[in-house]
Structure 1
């Protein structure tokens, strides 16, 4: 199984199957912490891992704080948004 988190489903009152929806994302609000997950054959380091790994990280000044020595700038993205049938 692969990890593919989705936002939603989103319900649009009056929308019917086959309708086309346009969504404008005006802002992405960043939380103070995030959750990173990876595992064997997943992501950039997947070939180096033998098991699933979960890490809760702090976010400060638009950087993910992995440790005192490692801070990486964030690049917010929406990912996947689902719609209700």
Structure 2
């Protein structure tokens, strides 16, 4: 999850929280900034590079209907890429 990536970045000296990281990833084109269901979902570019995957889970609502939740997950490859990318900014 993006929150775990933010923790990983903080552990490596890059001070950023989950919300600011979501914003940065949207601005850089890795996550969708289209409002609605696609909000914060990985773009085709990030899926093609295997930096993200989408985890779908179901839950039962109080009214008896079933809902589906989609969560963007950062892959191991994505973690390595983004940690290196953001830490390079610290060296500049």
TM over 0.5: no
Return the structure number with greater relative CO, CA threshold 8 A, min gap 6: 1
TM-score w.r.t. the length of structure 1 is: 0.23
Name the structure where helix makes up a greater proportion of residues: 2
- Which structure would you say has the larger Rg? 1
